Amino acid sequence: MSSSFPSELVASKNGSRIVWVFDAKGVRNVWLADGPDFARTARPLTHYTTDDGQPIASLRLTPDGKTALYARGSELNEGQESANPESWTKGAKQQVFAVDTDTKDATPRLLGDMGCPEEGCEDIEVSPDGRWAVWPAKKKLWLASVDGKQQAKELASVRGAAIQPKWSPDGKHIAFVSQRDSHSLIAIYDFAGDSIRYLAPSVDKDSMPRWSLDGEWIVFVRTAGEEQKVPLIPVRPEPWTLWIADAATSTGRLLWRSGSRPEDSLPELTEDGSLNVAADGRVVFASEQDGRNHLYSIPAEGGTATLLTPGDFDVEDVALSADKAWVIYSSNQDDVDRRHLWRVAVAGSTPQQALTSGETMEWSPVQTGDGKSILCLGSTATVPAMPYEVTAKGREMIARQALPTDFPSASLVTPKQVIFQSEDGVTLHGQLFLPRNAKGKSPGLVFMHGGPIRQMMLGFHYMDYYHNAYAENQYLASRGYVVLSVNYRLGVMYGRAFREPPNTVWRGAAEYKDVVAAGRYLQSLPEVDGEKIGLWGGSYGGFLTAMGLAKDSELFKAGVDFHGVHDWSVFLTERPYFGNLALRPPDTETAVKLAWDSSPNAYVGTWKSPVLLIQGDDDRNVPFTQTVDLVQRLRAQHVPFEQLVLPDEIHGFLMWKSWIRTYTATAEFFDRTLKRGEKIGTGE
């Protein structure tokens, strides 16, 4: 975990400049490089110096590449506070900054406060002339000049929450989503008239506006408005449509309609990144209508959508080429447990072309504005994530100076792809980490990712949370554990049927069968001591860890639960309608009982194995009360446990030292409980 983790790779609209964020042991900075010699020109643009828990997000470049903009700080919690894991006495803020890229050691200038209401909602949009920036915050849109001479001010007072701003090509209008209680509208703000108009308003939910290249029309997604008293237990399909509205008259028309089967539902994971207006007025979008997440394109005038990416694989990251005639994307085509880059013409006339392949992984593709270079982020099984230029000969690393010279690649193991089945016949993929030079039988550990809409792969992950988890699995292997990272049902990249199976999550937790299957698989290996199997995971992986310890303490002899869910029923009873009998779904009582029966708390009576519970008490994803409540139940049953509470930390720890502390504690806990068989107390 000593290497800098890259994210937010962006290219300027003109020229060959790129920027990205490096997180070096918790010290986040913006880096820059210019083509054609990206490797030689790579350098830090900002100069923050401390592991202070202040992330950088929504990195943008002005079209000419002369200014970079970014948000620094975390989103707000329910108390309207930004995360402050260093416990600064004056608190912390999430703010928007701009920094000049051609000035050596330029000082970032403050453009205004952000205050994003949820994780990942940072969205800075730069005007086509590079002079202005707009972003959503506190349910409003805020406008500031990039040069910092005009600080952020509210763009317009609109009822509801304003999100997803998009500049028109001429910079004279901003399209955005106006969220209302039960529906949402696409609105256009007109700078000249200081006015707002709505596009084809309806009772439904409109989102993801995209301008045509000539600014004459906008395409957007429409899904059904909210229906009350809908039964909770059945999972219903979510059909959707694409609409086109005339930007001048606000009149709209249907462009494309999905089917009504479950696989026709809106692919929420990827649709926002996939929806683009490309060359010749074609609209590119994602659909899972054939059971896989594929790309399609359709002319703006309508007609039949063309499948761009046929095959038994899923598409993830999507970008348009500089001339908007090609789609560049990442997928697991021909390599199910890795990612590689591909491209296809937006009209679908040319078959897909592989840009990368082999035992590497690539994601987040971008093409420079001059169309001469394709860049990406990538990794291998033993080399952590770094930025790369994609060339005819393969990949060339950028900013190699950020990779520590003593990074222990030679000491890491290459995990083996393993495929096995759950008791009900579901095929599962995993990565098996075998310790080097192990003598005799080793303890075994099952690792479960969070999400659950994630996939662990045969190399360092593209998300920082799981990049760290992969590093921890390597570390555990180096300490003599056989680690099996299991991609249980509910995960991505194995098709929609695998990701959306029946009787899962609070509706039955059938995915737990996959955890048991992973434990049994470890027991079957000659390298593993079948009496010393543990498990660990974070978030959804923490939930599955607790399930394993509560339901199968004979199989799982110890576990480490990072911020896991322990009682699903709480989330149902906290819904707004629960206190109103007139609005309750008809199966509310049955659903609450099913949710409880799908939770670890329901099985505390059979929980015997020791557990280490880890959570930050400013967690914005899983309420800290989930761990507080579980501890009281464990105490009542005299279950051995330890606790590691991080005051003011959030779900995905913001400080590098928090990861080091908790991951060190994880390894030491397993050493004491599995290797040495020490007894632990009850967390007092």
pLDDT digits (tens, 9 = 90+) for 527-571: 999 999 999 999 999 999 999 999 999 999 999 999 999 999 999
Averaged pLDDT, 309-316? 97
Q: So what's the pLDDT on residue 66?
A: 98
Residue type present at position 510: A
Q: How far apart, in whole angstroms, are the C-alpha atoms of residue 452 and residue 622? A: 13
Averaged pLDDT, 333-361? 95
Is the confidence at residue 10, as pLDDT, over 70? yes
Phi and psi at residue 402, to the nearest 5°: -85, -10
Where are the strands (E) in 434-582, listed by range?
A: 442-448, 482-487, 528-538, 558-562
Per-residue pLDDT of 67-96, as tens digits, reads 999 999 998 887 788 888 889 988 899 999
Q: So what's the pLDDT on residue 582?
A: 84
Q: How far apart, in whole angstroms, are the C-alpha atoms of residue 474 and residue 573? A: 40
CATH 3.40.50.1820 domain locations along the chain: 412-675
Q: Which of 21, 507, 40 is nearest to 233 (CA)?
A: 507
Q: Which of 113, 111, 115 is nearest to 97 (CA)?
A: 111
Which range has the worst mean pLDDT, 145-159, 519-533, 543-557, 588-602?
Answer: 145-159
Q: In what order do the strands lie in the sheet with 294-299?
A: 276-277, 282-287, 294-299, 306-307
Rounded to 5 degrees, what angle do the CA atoms 615, 619, 625 make? 70
Locate tokens 């063309």: which residue?
Answer: 306
Q: So what's the pLDDT on residue 119?
A: 80
Q: So what's the pLDDT on residue 79?
A: 77
CATH 2.120.10.30 domain locations along the chain: 270-379
Ramachandran category for residue 678: left, alpha or beta (phi over 0 → left; psi -120 to 50 → alpha):
beta
Q: How far apart, in whole angstroms, are the C-alpha atoms of residue 64 and residue 670? A: 53
Residue type present at position 50: T
Q: How far apart, in whole angstroms, are the C-alpha atoms of residue 251 and residue 246? A: 6
What percent of the chain clears pLDDT 90, i.e. is strictly above it? 90
Task: Please give the mean pLDDT across all residues of the chain.
Answer: 96
Per-residue pLDDT of 266-278, as tens digits, reads 998 899 999 999 9
Where are the strands (E) in 449-577, listed by range?
A: 482-487, 528-538, 558-562
**pLDDT-derived band at 362, boundaries 50, 70, 90:** very high
* DSSP secondary structure string for all residues of 233-270: SSPPP--EEEEEEETTT--EEEEEE--SSGGGS--TTT
* Domain 270-379, CATH among 2.60.120.10, 2.120.10.30, 3.30.1330.40, 3.40.50.150: 2.120.10.30
Q: So what's the pLDDT on residue 323?
A: 97
Contact 448, 486 (CB under 8 A): yes
Averaged pLDDT, 649-666? 97
Which SS3 state, helix, strand or coil, does residue 502 take? coil
Per-residue pLDDT of 320-332, as tens digits, reads 999 999 999 999 9
DSSP state of 435: P
Rounded to 5 degrees, what angle do the CA atoms 670, 675, 677 make? 90
CA atoms within 13 A on the CB side of 134: 23
Q: So what's the pLDDT on residue 573?
A: 87
What percent of the chain clears pLDDT 70, i.e. is strictly above it? 100
Q: How far apart, in whole angstroms, are the C-alpha atoms of residue 345 and residue 358? A: 23
Q: So what's the pLDDT on residue 78?
A: 79
Helices then strands, counting H and E runs in the chain, come out as 10, 40
Q: So what's the pLDDT on residue 93?
A: 92
Per-residue pLDDT of 624-653, as tens digits, reads 999 999 999 999 999 999 999 999 999 999
Is the confidence at residue 361, as pLDDT, over 80? yes
> Burial letters for 289-311: b for 16+ Cβ neighbours within 10 Å, e otherwise?
beebbbbbbbebeeeebbebbee
Q: How far apart, in whole angstroms, are the C-alpha atoms of residue 475 and residue 473? A: 5
**pLDDT-derived band at 683, boundaries 50, 70, 90:** low
Q: So what's the pLDDT on residue 105?
A: 85
Averaged pLDDT, 19-40? 97
Averaged pLDDT, 132-158? 94
Architecture of domain 412-675: 3-Layer(aba) Sandwich (3.40)
Q: Which of 489, 486, 517 is nearest to 504 (CA)?
A: 489
Averaged pLDDT, 203-213? 98
